Structure 1
Amino acid sequence: MNVKELNPESSAQAAYGARLRDLREKRGWTQEGLGDRNGYSSTHISSVETGRKLATLRFSRSTDRALGLTGTEASFERELGQIKHGSLLEGFPEFLGYERRAAEIRLYEVGVIPGLLQTPEYATVLADSAVRRLAITADQAQERVALVAERQAALVREKPPLVFALLDESCLRRPVGGPEVMRAQMDRLIEFAEQPNTVIQVVPFAMGEDRPFSLPLYILTMPDRSLMSYAESAQQGYLERESGSVVHHLTAYHQMQALAPSQAASVDMFRQLRKGFQ
């Protein structure tokens, strides 16, 4: 049998596969033997080991149980998380875990439509642009788009969170992907405003120095009513739990909501902008 040589340094996906093969062989198991233990075919395991197929969360957890790695630093579930989030800012993966469980989400975004409100086409354009700049790989671009879908899916759970969105006017004025993409994105914002658990407002340029934030900000209220915030600079994300600074952020957020045009006025703006994207 020809055994394909692996280069674990070629990609994170290849490193995952090489480590899987190494641990399997150290136990004296064939691919069929591992398959008997984790519930996958030898063909599937071969594809993961050689990097032709990216492992899923289910595969990683099943393999961890088979190898006795569940909950350890060496678990494949942990490695998969690092692969999927490898292109994200520090602090953001941890924030995502809280966002999925939050009772209330307050967000403020500058420059781009926030991920929770993006259409797949808009998200894809942004990700592809990052690939062209060599900021991320093509695989990481696909993961970013998939992550947008995962985050949005959490908004339609059985007990969805209340979502308050403040968008700096720059989010709407910056053309992304051409007129067709932008028209669909405006439609998405209008649909978002129609949901019973959402409020969306535009923070206009005219607010000037009264705008308290210059960087994106998320404030989460958890089911136990505890607060946390997440803010980003160009190179790093910052997650803060209950503290005076989070309360300060929340107060400033409420003040900005009060100064911003109403949701009805903001939706009118979306409609007018939609007409302009020809």
Structure 2
Amino acid sequence: MAALFGARVRRLRTTAGLTQAELGDRTHVVSTRITQIERASGAKPTLDLARALDAALNADNLLVELWPYVYREAFPDWSRRFMGLSERAVAVREYAAHLVPGLLQTEDYARAVLSVGRTLDGKEQLEERVSLRMGRQERLVGPDRPELWVILDEAVLRRPVGGETVMREQLARLLSAAAEPHITVQVLPFDQGEHDVMGGSLTVLTMPDGSDTAYTEGAHYGQLVEDPDEVRDFALTYDRLRAVALPPLMSLGMIRSVMEDNHRGAKVPSRTDRRRVAQEQLQQSGGRQLRGGGRRIPRRDRRPGP
């Protein structure tokens, strides 16, 4: 499939009368990268590069549609459809039990996480996955960026994935991301005890037509849930987690505390303090739902999704 993708790029490029260097200039890569793609050598193209090639060559989405098949061996079957749906979602609600979600990972953190996967065939495939994960984050800054609401289990903050330096940079990334108006981050502290999604992660995607799809994932498996009744149950489960998690401002305070205390002894606000802050935020908002950093969502925009 990589060879087929490269052949299509070469045919479209020659039809357009472009040299490899000229195509590289239009897609902001060096000409040798175009050579590698056309010869199916080196790292496979990222989704972002496939889109750029498609636009530069007026391919009418041909290259974008071929791209998932180029990666057919790099990703398990159960993750591919989810990745495709995520690209179109207008809202993403995610609970993470063990790791920072991919959309908010730093490159070093992502490399540390992906390097321990059982489905990797070598360093080249690792770098392909890291490149893809970083490319997916482009959606968060594009014009069609989704609303992103993330709940992190306290364990996510306290496990120094990749070492303390990598983890500190990752926590800083969470703080900067939460400052964006379309991103909300909450922390679910240990003292909340057991809940319905222990041991795995949960993502609820809202599509442009208003429909929802749920996705649950463990260390080496995933399940896409599309049955409306089941999806509704998962959406309700997510809302319950959101209700018992720390309010957004307190969550950011806890992330900052863990980062500054080098993952030791960060203070978790008491339940009394959490209720007090939540009540104060509600009063300050005039009864409106708060986003991260104290931002407001008008009543007319309130719905089960973020």
Q: AA paired with 2:242?
A: Q
Once the two structures are superposed, the pairs formed by residues 226-245 of structure 1 within 5 Å of their partners are 226-245=211-230
- Aligned-pair CA distance for 1:166: 0.7
- Aligned-pair CA distance for 1:129: 4.0
1:20–1:49 Cα contact (<8 Å) kept: no
Q: Can you give the 5+ residue segments of structure 1 that lack an aligned partner in the other structure?
A: 1-14, 25-31
2:43–2:124 Cα contact (<8 Å) kept: no
Once the two structures are superposed, the pairs formed by residues 73-92 of structure 1 within 5 Å of their partners are 80-92=67-79
Aligned length: 246
Structure 2 residue 242 is the aligned partner of structure 1 residue 249: no
Once the two structures are superposed, the pairs formed by residues 9-24 of structure 1 within 5 Å of their partners are 16-17=2-3
What CA RMSD, in Å, does the superposition of the two structures yield over aligned residues? 3.4
Query: Helix, strand or coil: the match of 1:124?
Result: helix
Q: AA paired with 2:90?
A: A
1:168–1:203 Cα contact (<8 Å) kept: yes
Q: Whole-Å Cα distance in 1 between the matches of residues 107 and 42 of structure 2? A: 25
Once the two structures are superposed, the pairs formed by residues 137-216 of structure 1 within 5 Å of their partners are 137-209=122-194, 211-214=195-198, 215-216=200-201
Q: 1:227-267 deviations in whole A, cap 9, x for unaligned?
A: 11111234332222251000000111111111111111111
Taking structure 2 as the reference length, the TM-score comes to 0.68
Larger radius of gyration: 1
1:118–1:185 Cα contact (<8 Å) kept: yes
Query: Helix, strand or coil: the match of 1:135?
Result: coil
Q: Whole-Å Cα distance in 2 between the matches of residues 134 and 16 of structure 1? A: 19
Q: 1:76-126 deviations in whole A, cap 9, x for unaligned?
A: 866642333533232322222221222211001121111011111211222
- Aligned-pair CA distance for 1:145: 1.3
Taking structure 1 as the reference length, the TM-score comes to 0.74
Q: 1:185-242 deviations in whole A, cap 9, x for unaligned?
A: 1111111221111221111222212x22021111011122111111123433222225
Once the two structures are superposed, the pairs formed by residues 67-146 of structure 1 within 5 Å of their partners are 80-130=67-117, 135-146=120-131
1:103–1:221 Cα contact (<8 Å) kept: yes
- Aligned-pair CA distance for 1:54: 4.0
Query: Helix, strand or coil: the match of 1:277?
Result: coil
User: In the alignment, which of 1, 14, 18 is matched to residue 36 of structure 1?
Assistant: 14
| Residues 80 and 268 of structure 1: CA distance in aligned 2, closer, same or farther (over 3 Å) | same
- Aligned-pair CA distance for 1:60: 8.4
Match of 2:288 in 1: none
User: In the alignment, which of 233, 242, 263 is matched to residue 248 of structure 2?
Assistant: 263
Q: Can you give the 5+ residue segments of structure 2 that lack an aligned partner in the other structure?
A: 21-31, 264-306
- Aligned-pair CA distance for 1:35: 6.2
Percentage identity across aligned positions? 30
Q: Whole-Å Cα distance in 1 between the matches of residues 124 and 14 of structure 2? A: 30
